[in-house]
Amino acid sequence: MTASSDPTLPFLHLDTLWLQVTGTVCNIACRHCFISCGPKVRIHDLMTVDQCRAAIDAAAAHGCRAYAFTGGEPFLHPDILALVDLALARGPLDILSNGMLIDEPLAQALARRFREAPHGFDVRISLDGLSAEENDPVRGRGVFDATVQGIRNLVAAGMEPVVAVTTVHADHESAQGRQAFYELLRGLGVAHPRVKLIPPFRIGREARRSGGYGPLERLTAAMIDDDSPWVLQCGTSRMVTNRGAWPCPILVNDDGARMGDRLDDALRPCTLGSPACHTCHVEGFSCRT
């Protein structure tokens, strides 16, 4: 959904390549998921190892600095460790996960790569509350306990995840809210607690939950300046899925935002035509850790 008045954003350099390795397939179906993922959702399907290799090689040829895996839930991918190795050979890697599938053997395999890879490796785990009572109404019954177990497994193996909190509970945005998450993590054995706060994007399933965007919540050319491509992540990153290339991980279900079949088609300015762009602008938000 783009209009001719929508501003375009210059593309500076490919700092981050996002790969939606498991498409929109997730083991759970959170009520605030802005890409509406779930166990049977195949808007985007799993990427093959060859597709991932091609994208990572193309990105490296353009001097890419960092890689990030998302989904859906990346650890549903049957070849996830092979994909991790492909990325870590080229640069640092972040995996965005709900943590539920990280059992002891997987945690060991990830921690070994964290210690031995030539580049940095991070796992970012979503948690939207400090307790099952707070988290599970949004993310699903039993999710809190399974996520916490995943964190414990990682910590026991020697790898400390970042926790990503979508601020659906307003009090989590405050300094005390952040502190409470640090304490929760310390209690799980995390010696260097890290928390990333993420504003809710009112698209996908979250639009139904929170009411979506109003007509005035659009970006205009006047809101874009020289610094914008440094601040908005679509100035320095691109997303690939099994169906092609997109400006960012947020807009993969917006067919109007699709930039081409391959990464190389997408290394050009993009149009800021989604109301979600308004959230990026207002919050100064980036998916980077």
Q: Would you tell me which residues interact with ligand SF4 (CB under 6 A)?
A: 26, 28-30, 33, 37, 71-73, 98, 126, 232-234, 247-248, 250-251, 270, 272, 274, 276-277, 280
Q: How far apart are CA 52 and CA 69, in angstroms?
A: 10
Kind and range of the H or E element at 184?
A: helix 175-187
Spatial distance between the Cα atoms of 154 and 58, rounded to a whole number of angstroms: 31
Strands, DSSP E only, in the chain? 8-9, 16-20, 66-70, 93-97, 121-126, 162-166, 195-198, 237-241, 244-246, 270-271
Taking the complex as a whole, the smallest distance from the CB of residue 280 to other proteins amounts, in Å, to 15
Which listed option, other proteins, ligand SF4, none, makes contact with residue 247 (CB within 5 to 8 Å by class)?
A: ligand SF4
Does residue 72 have a cis peptide bond before it, meaning omega lies within 30 degrees of 0? yes
Beta-carbon-side half-sphere exposure of residue 144 (alpha carbons within 13 Å): 13
Nearer to other proteins, 35 or 165 (CB): 165
Q: Which residue's CB is nearer to other proteins, number 31 or number 194?
A: 194
The gap from C-alpha 23 to its chain's centroid, in whole angstroms, comes to 12
Least distance between other proteins and beta carbon 235 (Å) = 10
Interacting partner of 232 out of other proteins, ligand SF4, none (Cβ under 5 to 8 A depending on kind): ligand SF4
Interacting residues with other proteins (CB under 8 A)? 12-13, 59-66, 90-92, 114, 118-122, 160, 162, 175, 178, 192, 194, 197, 226, 230
The interface partner of residue 276, options being ligand SF4, other proteins, none and the CB cut-off 5 to 8 Å by kind, is ligand SF4
Nearest residue to 252 (alpha-carbon basis) of 34, 83, 57: 34
**Residue 251 site contact among ligand SF4, other proteins, none (CB < 5 to 8 Å, cut-off depends on kind):** ligand SF4
Contact partner, 29, from other proteins, ligand SF4, none, Cβ < 5-8 Å per class: ligand SF4
